[in-house]
């Protein structure tokens, strides 16, 4: 896949077929996440890969916007480590960049993915902190549902380019 085409054709996928992705492939995907830019190159991310069906169901029952998670093979919880970040709050930006890399790498491999928000929702955050035993310095940013798309989502190429969003020199 051409790099630019990949950027322009990635879409959130919510319909999956069963299938477990090999650990080596997941490792490859996570490698791309770890090459994201981060403030002062502090790489303040931590990743939890979830494959257990019972856990996926439990997440579904506790996250209001990821009803499709059970059909996907996996979910990735992207967390920030505030002991590693440069300035307070950089974990959000750095881990967002890592998340996007991961999703683009999924797309390049023909896998589907969908970012499901955790931060800054306090209730959803509390659920993830409790369920995954996250210590105080580990902050969950988002859940990336990923797996084999079932092919039923025919996504039209989206048209998002807007010249009115571009400002030169001053706003």
Query: Which residue, 44, 135, 36, is CA-closest to 88?
Result: 44
Pairing of strands 16-17, 74-81: unpaired
Shortest distance in whole angstroms from residue 118 CB to ligand FMN: 8
Sole window of 71-79, 87-95, 111-119, 126-134 interacting with ligand FMN (rule: CB under 6 A): 111-119
**Cβ pair 145, 78 in contact under 8 A:** no
Residue count of the chain: 171
116 touches ligand FMN by CB under 6 A: yes
Query: Which residue, 83, 96, 59, 71, is CA-closest to 13?
Result: 71
11 touches ligand FMN by CB under 6 A: yes
Shortest distance in whole angstroms from residue 68 CB to ligand FMN: 7
Q: Which is nearer to ligand FMN, 8 or 87 (CB)?
A: 8
Q: What is the DSSP letter of 150?
A: -
Characterise 143 by phi-psi region: left (phi > 0), alpha (psi -120 to 50), beta (else). Answer: beta
Residues 63-102 contacting ligand FMN, CB under 6 A: 65-66
113: enclosing H helix or E strand: strand 112-117
Spatial distance between the Cα atoms of 99 and 64, rounded to a whole number of angstroms: 20
114 touches ligand FMN by CB under 6 A: yes
Q: What end-to-end distance do the CA atoms of the chain give, in Å?
A: 35
12, 32, 125, 131: residue in contact with ligand FMN (rule CB under 6 A): 12
60 touches ligand FMN by CB under 6 A: no
117, 121, 134, 137: residue in contact with ligand FMN (rule CB under 6 A): 117
115, 127, 128, 146: residue in contact with ligand FMN (rule CB under 6 A): 115
Sole window of 27-35, 70-78, 108-116, 128-136 interacting with ligand FMN (rule: CB under 6 A): 108-116
Residues in touch with ligand FMN (CB under 6 A): 11-12, 14, 65-66, 114-117
């Amino acid at each position: 896949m051409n790099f630019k085409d990949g950027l322009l054709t990635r879409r959130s996928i919510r319909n999956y077929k069963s299938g477990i992705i090999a650990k080596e492939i997941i490792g490859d995907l996570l490698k791309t996440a770890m090459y994201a830019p981060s403030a002062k190159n502090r790489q303040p991310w931590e990743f939890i890969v979830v494959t257990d069906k019972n856990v996926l169901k439990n997440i579904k029952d506790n996250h209001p916007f990821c009803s499709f998670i059970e059909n996907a093979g996996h979910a990735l919880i992207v967390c920030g480590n505030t002991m590693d970040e440069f300035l307070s709050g950089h974990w959000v930006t750095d881990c967002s960049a890592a998340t996007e890399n991961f999703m683009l790498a999924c797309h390049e491999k023909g896998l589907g993915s969908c970012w499901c928000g955790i931060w800054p929702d306090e209730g959803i955050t509390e659920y993830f902190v409790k369920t995954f035993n996250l210590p105080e310095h580990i902050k969950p940013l988002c859940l990336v549902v990923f797996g084999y798309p079932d092919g039923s989502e025919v996504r039209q190429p989206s048209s998002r380019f807007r010249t009115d969003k571009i400002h030169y020199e001053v706003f």
